[in-house]
């Protein structure tokens, strides 16, 4: 059972870290030149344009976040591929067959899917007049997970049991990590449920 839980968490890790890093791109420990380059991309995806009086997705969804999320997804999938090819434990317990699926492709699809799911949820929140940054359980926790699973299904379709277990596990992980970042002062208490 523990190995199955590990496999589910390991499977979606590129999306999880991609989604996380997208939201804290300005606080990542990067060399100055990269920080400056990314700072130029801290432009809202919707460029501040309003639709029916509301933001389309909100000012917190930036091009920097998209780039950071996708690159993180690729880097994490690359690390997974290295472990897959060099450590039998990971080869036996990794759901994605890195011998057949390119880590750049699956990493980009997972990172991009996580962010597309988050963008769609933000778009819907704006249509429902829910303020940016305010919690919307369970969609805040599930949007990126479902987006990543769906988009990466282009190259890897997880078994139904894996998909459901992964969603449930990462909802719990997300809720716990929200508490930690609130405790650390990164998020405000009203931004978490």
Contacts of 88 (CB under 8 A, 6+ apart): none
Query: What is the per-residue burial (b if ≥16 Cβ within 10 Å, else e) of 128-161?
Result: eebeeeeebeebbbbbbbbbbbebbeeebebeee
48 pLDDT more than 90: no
**Which pLDDT value is given to residue 188?**
57
Is the omega angle on the peptide bond into residue 182 within 30 degrees of 0, that is, cis?
no
Rounded-to-integer distance, Cα 40 and Cα 99, Å: 37
* Nearest to 175, CA basis, from 151, 156, 191: 191
30 pLDDT more than 80: no
Domain ranges of the chain: 12-157
**Which pLDDT value is given to residue 186?**
57
Q: When comparing pLDDT for 114 and 176, which is higher?
A: 114
* Nearest to 28, CA basis, from 81, 57, 71: 71
**Confidence (pTM):** 0.86
Mean pLDDT over residues 15-25, rounded?
84
Other C-beta atoms closer than 10 Å to the C-beta of 99 total 9
Rounded to 5°, angle at Cα 50 from 140 and 121: 15
Rounded-to-integer distance, Cα 72 and Cα 43, Å: 19
- pLDDT tens by residue, 119-155: 999 889 888 888 777 778 888 889 999 999 999 999 9
Scanning the structure block, which residue is given the tokens 């997972």?
A: 110
**Which pLDDT value is given to residue 76?**
98
- pLDDT tens by residue, 69-127: 999 999 999 999 999 999 999 999 999 999 999 999 999 999 999 999 999 998 898 88
* Nearest to 139, CA basis, from 158, 153, 119, 154: 119
**Which pLDDT value is given to residue 66?**
92
| 27 band by pLDDT with thresholds 50, 70 and 90 | low
**Which pLDDT value is given to residue 144?**
93
Helices (H), the chain: 2-11, 13-23, 32-40, 63-86, 88-93, 103-127, 139-152, 160-183
Rounded-to-integer distance, Cα 34 and Cα 19, Å: 19
Mean pLDDT estimate for the chain: 87
19 pLDDT more than 70: yes
């Amino acid at each position: 059972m523990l190995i199955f839980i590990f496999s589910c968490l390991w499977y979606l890790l590129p999306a999880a870290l991609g989604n996380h890093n997208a939201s804290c791109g300005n606080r990542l420990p990067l060399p100055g030149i990269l920080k400056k380059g990314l700072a130029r991309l801290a432009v809202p995806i919707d460029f501040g344009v309003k639709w029916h009086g509301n933001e389309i997705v909100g000012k917190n969804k930036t091009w920097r976040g998209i780039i950071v999320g996708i690159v993180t997804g690729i880097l994490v999938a690359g690390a997974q591929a290295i472990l897959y090819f060099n450590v039998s434990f990971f080869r036996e317990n990794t759901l994605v067959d890195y011998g057949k699926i390119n880590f750049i492709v699956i990493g980009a699809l997972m990172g991009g899917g996580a962010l597309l799911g988050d963008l769609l949820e933000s778009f819907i929140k704006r249509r429902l007049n829910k303020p940016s940054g305010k919690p919307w359980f369970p969609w805040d926790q599930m949007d990126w997970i479902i987006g990543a699973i769906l988009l990466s299904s282009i190259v890897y379709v997880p078994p139904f049991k894996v998909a459901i277990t992964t969603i449930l596990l990462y909802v719990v992980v997300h809720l716990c990590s929200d508490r930690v970042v609130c405790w650390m002062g990164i998020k405000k208490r009203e931004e978490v449920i």
